[in-house]
């Protein structure tokens, strides 16, 4: 008989709904970088690490795999590229 852990099932359900609502995603290792129209969010193993809201509309996200730490770069609708500082 298969047993389901209700808490894990609920977390999976919430994460799947969240991923459907996000427009742009990028994965590097165990990090998930997501963007809606105006919000950038960084997750590591289903834990939200960083979240930033912008006034401009986000077009895309690219992750630069630097030797020490990855750097997300966000492209905005007004043709501006913004690297996000990760401390």
3-16 pLDDT, tens digit each:
556 556 556 666 66
- Residue 53, sorted as left (phi over 0), alpha (psi -120 to 50) or beta, turns out to be beta
Distance between CA 1 and CA 44 in Å, rounded? 32
pLDDT at residue 38, rounded to an integer: 87
29-85 pLDDT, tens digit each:
888 888 888 888 888 887 888 888 999 999 888 888 888 888 899 999 988 999 988
C-alpha separations of 75 from 13, 54, 67 in Å: 29, 12, 22
Model-level pTM? 0.69
């Amino acid at each position: 008989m298969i047993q389901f852990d209700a808490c894990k099932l609920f977390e999976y359900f919430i994460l799947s709904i969240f991923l459907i609502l996000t427009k742009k995603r990028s994965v590097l290792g165990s990090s998930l970088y997501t963007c809606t129209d105006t919000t950038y969010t960084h997750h590591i193993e289903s834990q939200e690490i960083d979240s930033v809201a912008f006034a401009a509309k986000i077009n895309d996200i690219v992750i630069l795999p630097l030797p020490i730490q990855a750097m997300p770069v966000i492209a905005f609708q007004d043709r501006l590229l913004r690297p996000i500082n990760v401390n």
